[in-house]
């Protein structure tokens, strides 16, 4: 896992990086929130370990920005020298923080959190892959939206992707479906639709 560490104090930053490396992790350090956001946007980070209180962009606001950005799930661990309270815990949860550690960071506790992060990231990747499969009827082409409900492919994709469809008929369906119907109505040589030739 590629980890982004954020600590604005030099000595705690070096200690955090030494701990992450001792745990066998690949990590980059940012000394302020703006730099952390730039590094994060450059890509590849699946875990962020961030100090809470910093001037400018603090740990909670960084977490909020990451959550608003979307994309692959990022596991966010917040660290702070202040004791966690019920109110601060709720504030962190509301911002999208996954876990919380007090300073000084205990290497064993951080290792356990990173183990959980790896499992969560693996599971979210599996869920994303499973959601990419669309169960479709091989005969009528309806999509199963839930176990008891099938809907037209256009409605399914319109609801989930905001897509708009225009309808036409392909040359094969024109020959197979439309021409026999027209001939049954006594129309012998109808002109083919555009693109059917």
Give the CATH number of the domain where residue 108 resides.
Answer: 3.40.50.2300
pTM over 0.85: no
**Is residue 20 in some structural domain?**
yes
Q: Name the DSSP class of 83.
A: P
**Is residue 120 in some structural domain?**
yes
**Is residue 41 in some structural domain?**
yes
List, for the chain, all residue ranges whose pLDDT scores fall below the cut of 70: 131, 189-197
Q: How far apart are CA 74 and CA 44, in angstroms?
A: 10
**Is residue 40 in some structural domain?**
yes
Q: Can you give the pLDDT at residue 195?
A: 56
User: How many other CB atoms are there within 10 angstroms of residue 111's CB atom?
Assistant: 16
Q: Name the DSSP class of 177.
A: I
Provide the residue range defining the domain that includes 26.
Answer: 2-131
For residue 148, give the 3-state DSSP assignment: coil
**Is residue 27 in some structural domain?**
yes
Name the domain count of the chain: 1
């Amino acid at each position: 896992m590629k980890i982004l560490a954020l600590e604005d104090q030099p000595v705690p930053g070096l200690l955090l990086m030494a701990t992450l490396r001792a745990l066998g992790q690949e990590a980059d350090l940012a000394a302020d929130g703006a730099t952390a956001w730039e590094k994060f946007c450059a890509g590849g980070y699946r875990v962020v370990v961030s100090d809470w209180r910093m001037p400018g962009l603090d740990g909670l606001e960084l977490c909020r920005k990451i959550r608003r950005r979307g994309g692959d799930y990022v596991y966010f661990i917040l660290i702070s020298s202040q004791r966690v309270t019920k109110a601060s815990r709720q504030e962190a949860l509301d911002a999208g923080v996954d876990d919380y550690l007090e300073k000084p960071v205990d290497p064993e506790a951080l290792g356990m959190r990173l183990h959980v992060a790896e499992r969560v990231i693996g599971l979210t990747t599996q869920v994303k892959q499973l959601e990419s499969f669309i169960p479709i009827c091989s005969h009528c082409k309806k999509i199963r939206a839930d176990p008891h409900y099938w809907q037209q492919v256009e409605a399914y994709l319109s609801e989930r992707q905001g897509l708009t469809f225009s309808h036409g008929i392909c040359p094969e369906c024109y020959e197979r479906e439309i021409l026999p119907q027209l001939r049954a109505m006594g129309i012998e040589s109808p002109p083919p639709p555009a693109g059917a030739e």
